[in-house]
Amino acid sequence: MSMIFGVPAAVLSGQLLIGVINGAFYALLSLGLAVIFGLLKIINFAHGAMYMLGAMATVIMFDALGINYWVALFVAPVLVGIVGMVIEYFFLRRIAGQDHIYSLLLTFGIALMIQGVLTNIYGVSGLRYSMPDVFKGGVNLGFMFLPYYRAWVIVAALVVCFGTWFMIEKTKLGSYLRAGTEDSQLMQGFGINVPLLVSLTYGFGVMLAAFAGVLAAPIYSVTPVMGSHILIVVFAVVVIGGMGSIGGAIITGILMGIIEGLTKTFYPPASSAVIFLVMVVVLMIRPSGLFGKEA
Amino acid sequence: MNQPVNQTDIQHGILEQQRSEDRKKLMVNGVLLLLLLAAPFVMYPVFLMKILCFALFAVAFNLLFGFTGLLSFGHAAFLATGGYTTGYLLTNYSGLTTEMGIIAGTLVATLLGLAFALLSIRRQGIYFAMVTLALAQLVFFFFVQSKFTGGEDGMHGIPRGELLGVINLDDNLNMYYFVLAVFIGCYLLVQRIVSSPYGQVLKSIKQNEARAVSLGYNVDRYKILAFVISAALAGLAGSMKSVVFQLASLNDAHWHMSGEVILMTLVGGMGTLLGPVVGATFVVNVEYQLSQGPLRDWVDPILGGIFVLTVLAFRSGIVGEVQKFVKKNLG
C-alpha cells in the first residue's frame, strides 16, 4: 500500500472525500447566509434551524406520507422557503430600519424556538432515513472507494452553488436584487416591488439551507439540534470568505471542508477547531476575509 | 442679557432638581441594599448567589454592548475561562486562599479578553459579533479537548476554602455576603466608569463612531479597554460561580451561554445600569420556575419566545420601559 506523509493513501483519500463532502455542505449553507447577508444585511442565525427543518421534513414526509427522496428534494426546500418568507413577513420586516444587530438577535430567538419545539416532539436521539436504492453501493476508483451517494452530493451541491452564483451575478433578476439593496427607494420608483423581492430573497436563502438539509438526511444523523452544531462553523466560513461575497462563500466552503479532512488525518484532536484557527489567521492578515472588499 | 437674575434662578432650579433626584436615587439604592442584605434569610442563598453571579456577568456584558455598542457573541469564553482557572487552581493547590484563586481566574480571563479584543476590534457591528463568536468557539474546543477541565463531565468538587485564610466559605451565609460584596463593588465600578469622561467617550462611540474619530479620539484604544474590562468582570463572575457551585462545566463555555447573557441584558434593558441586574434576575427565575413545573422541557423555546418578543415589542427592556413610563406619567 502506498503511503503519503506516513499515512496510507486510502486513508488520506477517504478523509479528503469526507472533507470535500463536508465542504459541499459548508458551501451550500454559507452561500445561503451570504445571499441573505449580502442582499438584506441580515445575519441569519436561524439558518441552522432551516437546514435542520429541511432534513426533518424529508424524514417526516417519508414516514408519514411515503414521499420519496426525489420529491422531497424539491418539496422540502419549497416548504422551508415558505416558512422563511412567513418569518420575514411577520418578524424581520418589523425591524427593517433598526440596527442590524437586532436581526441577529431576532433570528437567534426564532432558531431557539424552532429547535426547542422539535426537540420536545422528536427528541435528540436522531431519526432514521434510508438512502434511495439507486445510490446504494459505489464505485472503486482504484485508489479509493467512492459511494454513489457521496458523489451525488458533491455534484448536486456544486450545480446548485454555481446556478445561484450565476443567477445573482449574471442575470437580470440578480441585477434587480443587487440594485434593490443598493437603493431600495429608487428601485421602488422604477416600479419594482422591493418588499416582495426581499421576501423572496430570504425565502431563497433558506431554501438553499433546506436543500442542504435534504442532501444531509441519508448520511448524517437527523436531529433537531443538527443545525446548531454546523451553524457556527458556517459562520466562520463566511467570515473567512468575506461577508457577502457569493463566490467567496462557495470556494471557502469547499476549501475549509478539505482542510478539516486533512487535519483529521494528520492531527485529529484539532479537527473541530482548525476552521476557527484559520479564521483567526485570516483576520490578522486580511480583516475583510479572503474574498471580501475592504469594509 | 436683560434678565441675569432669571438665569441664575434657572440654574439654581436645575441644581435643586438634580439634588432631589440624587436623594431619590440614594434612597432607592439604600432600600435595595437592605433587601439584598436581608435576602438570604428569606430565600435559599445558593439561588441568590446564582442570580448575583449572572447579574455580574450581564453587567460586564452590558458595559460593552449597552454603553459601547459592541455586541460580543463570545462572552461565554470569559465566564468559562474564569471558572476553569479558579477551579483548577483551588483544586490542585491547597495552599491558595479562595480570593487568590478568584483573582487568578479573573486575570487569565482578562488576558484572553485582550487577545479577543486585538483580533476583533477592527470589525464592527455584526462582523464583530461573528468574530467574537468564532473565537469563543475556539476556546470552547480547547476546553473540550483539555484534560484538566474534565471534558464533558466538567470539573467537580472545587473546594470553597477560606477567604483570606480566615472566613470559612463553606458556610452559605459567609459565601453569600462575599459574593454580594464583590458584586456591589463591581456594580459601583461600572457605574463610576460609565459616568466618567472615559464612559462619555464610550457612549459617543456608540452613537456616532465616525464623529468620535473626527474629534480626535483613538477609538480603537477606547474600545479595547472597554472590552478588556468587560472580559475581566465576566471572568470574575465565572470564577465566583465556580466557587459557589463548586463546579465548572462546558455549559459555561457553550455559545448558548453567550446568547443567554445577551437575552438577560436585552430583557432587563441594555444601556441602563440596573437593566442587566433585573434581566439576570428575571431570566434565572424564569428558568428555575419552568424547570420545576410541567413546562420543564420547554425552557429553550420559551426563552426564544421572550427573545423574539423583546426584540419586536420592547427593545428598551424592563428597566427602559419603566423609565419611559415614569418619565411620561410621573415626571
In chain A, which residues have their Cβ closer than 8 Å to the Cβ of B120?
Answer: 283
Integer-rounded Cα radius of gyration of chain A: 19
Q: B100 in a domain, yes or no? A: yes
- The ipTM of this complex is 0.81
* pLDDT of A219: 87
Q: Do A101 and B133 touch (CB under 8 A)?
A: no
The answer to whether the Cβ–Cβ distance between A110 and B306 falls below 8 Å is no
**CA-nearest residue of chain A to B122?**
A287
pLDDT in tens, A1-45: 566 666 777 778 888 888 899 999 999 999 998 888 877 888 888
Grouping H, G, I as helix, E, B as strand and the rest as coil, residue B46 is helix
Determine the pLDDT at residue A66.
Answer: 83
**Residue ranges of chain B whose CB lies within 8 Å of a chain A CB:** 71, 73, 119-120, 122-127, 129-131, 133-135, 137-138, 141-142, 144-145, 255, 259, 262, 266, 297-308, 310-312, 315
pLDDT over threshold 50, residue A295: no
Across the range B140-152, mean pLDDT stands at: 84
Sequence-distant (≥ 6) Cβ neighbours of residue B46 within 8 angstroms? B172, B244, B245
* pLDDT, greater one: B241 or B209: B241
Q: What is the arithmetic mean of pLDDT over B130-157?
A: 85
pLDDT value for B6: 64
Domain of B234, in residue numbers: 42-252
CATH of A3-285 among 1.20.120, 1.10.3470, 3.90.320, 1.10.10: 1.10.3470
Q: Tell me the residue ranges of DSSP E strands in chain A.
A: 3-4, 7-8, 138-140, 145-147
Grid coordinates given for B43: 430565600
Beta carbons of B130 and A284 less than 8 Å apart: no
Q: Could you tell me if residue B317 is inside a domain?
A: no
Which residues, 6+ apart, have CB-to-CB distance to A72 below 8 Å? A57, A58, A61, A62, A214, A217
Task: Count the domains in chain B.
Answer: 1
Mean pLDDT of chain A: 85
Q: Which strand (E) or helix (H) includes residue B155? A: strand B155-156
Q: Tell me the per-residue pLDDT of A215-271, one tens digit each, with 9 for 90 and over.
A: 998 888 888 888 888 888 898 898 888 877 888 888 999 999 999 988 888 888 788
Cβ-nearest to B312 among A91, A235, A239:
A91
Alpha helices in A123-245 (DSSP H): 148-170, 172-182, 184-189, 194-216, 226-241
Asked whether residue B10 is assigned to any structural domain, the reply reads no
Residue B136 included in any domain = yes
Q: How far apart are CA B251 and CA A84, in angstroms?
A: 30
Judge: A106–B308 Cβ closer than 8 Å, yes or no: yes
> For A262-273, what is each residue's pLDDT tens digit?
888 888 878 888
